[in-house]
A and B are shown apart, each in its own frame.
Chain A
């Protein structure tokens, strides 16, 4: 704890500490920001419809490349992880999956950081990877 305070915000932000929960904390924020950027881009992209067929087709060409497909696959992955982990957080905030309150005994393992929550995070990551593969399959007509 003392080391944390000395490190300031860097200590709090360190994803290598506190296990998968801290990684999920960061992934939730990174995927959220990524999806917001994509959403703004998507609104701009679809507005090219109003400039006619040529403008729409030239805008669409940007996504019909290997880089475009990789970007869209990342968006799918971000969307699935953000949804899965978001549902876990909603359930946790409702008070479920935390374990029962008990006397703090050595080694003071917090009951809230349990296997159920960890499993949900790993499942969200796994589902995101599967969705990315499915998305790439659809985009490449496999």
Chain B
């Protein structure tokens, strides 16, 4: 169980911290889109150019990790509120952890390949 690895109070601190930092990065992400003109910023060449900018790629990667950690921990909290029990709690915790790792890996693949021009 996650609580045997880490105290729930520490997990909640991570939950709040990831939320606050992610809000800052999401604001940067939206500002980049709006400043370029919303429609123009979504053109294929513009999006690829965004990925090729290393600082922006780092922002995207950080956002991917922060939101995944926050989102799947939130899902874990909701599911643990509904039902309790050792087997169920373990299944929820490790299921959410696995889903989080898969999503981060899948999103990182896009960021790395696009920023390296492998498109």
- Chain A interface (Cβ < 8 Å from any Cβ of B): 29, 32-33, 35-36, 39-40, 43-44, 46-47, 49-50, 52-53, 56-57, 60, 79, 83, 86, 90, 93, 138-139, 141
Contacts and interface: CB of A to CB of B under 8 A. Distances in A.
Given A43-B103, A139-B38, A141-B39, A83 B47 contact: no
A40 B100 CA distance: 10
A29 B78 contact: yes
B78 A43 contact: no
A33 B70 CA distance: 11
11 contacts: A43-B64, A43-B107, A49-B44, A49-B48, A49-B51, A49-B119, A50-B109, A52-B119, A90-B20, A93-B16, A138-B34
Interface of B: 12, 16, 19-20, 23, 26, 34, 38-39, 42, 44, 47-48, 51, 64, 67-68, 71-72, 74-75, 78, 103, 106-107, 109-110, 113-114, 118-119
Contact of A50 (B12, B38, B78, B113): B113
A64 B64 CA distance: 24
A35 B38 contact: no
A44 B107 CA distance: 8
Contacts of B110: 43, 46-47, 49-50
A43 B106 contact: yes
Contacts of A50: 109-110, 113-114, 118-119
A50 B109 CA distance: 10
B29 to A, nearest CB: 11
Nearest to B23: A83
Contacts of B39: 141
Contacts of B119: 49-50, 52
A56 B47 CA distance: 10
Smallest CB-CB A-B distances: 7 pairs: A36-B71, A53-B44, A43-B107, A47-B110, A32-B74, A56-B44, A138-B38
Nearest to A37: B71
A74 to B, nearest CB: 16
A49 B109 contact: no
Contacts of B20: 90
Contacts of A33: 75, 78
A56 B103 CA distance: 20
A58 B12 CA distance: 40
